[in-house]
Amino acid sequence: MITLKKVASLLPALALVLSMTMPAAAAKAKPSPDPTPNAKPAAAAPLPPEKHPQIHEALEALRNSKEHLEHAAHDFGGHRVEAIRAIDEAIHQLEICLQYDKD
């Protein structure tokens, strides 16, 4: 059973991993210039707003961080494996959060 104390102990590792991935995510988010600035975009039906976009962004960042750590050339003094475990637990908790919102 996951206790609040255990989840709280994972938060510093999660914060570290997220802070390491934010610059990479920001670099990817830069829009490329539109090759045809006068062209009108095709009309599309508006999509409903995504529920909990911050949680989905966090999940994506965590999965990217895990991928980077799994392929890292350095083991970071043995902390890489523990960080991957913490990321797996954080992903699991966020997925549970999304399951509870069935509105």
Domain layout of the chain by residue ranges: 1-23+51-103
Residues in the chain: 103
Residue 62 or residue 31, greater confidence: 62
For residue 57, the model assigns a pLDDT of 95
pLDDT of residue 1 exceeding 50: no
* Neighbouring C-beta atoms of residue 80, cutoff 10 Å: 14
Using CA atoms, how far apart are residues 21 and 65, in angstroms rounded to an integer? 6
Which of 35-39, 64-68, 96-100 is predicted with the least confidence, judged by mean pLDDT? 35-39
pLDDT at residue 63, rounded to an integer: 97
- pTM of this structure: 0.53
User: Shortest CA distance to 76 belongs to which of 10, 6, 13?
Assistant: 13
72: left (phi over 0), alpha (psi -120 to 50) or beta: beta
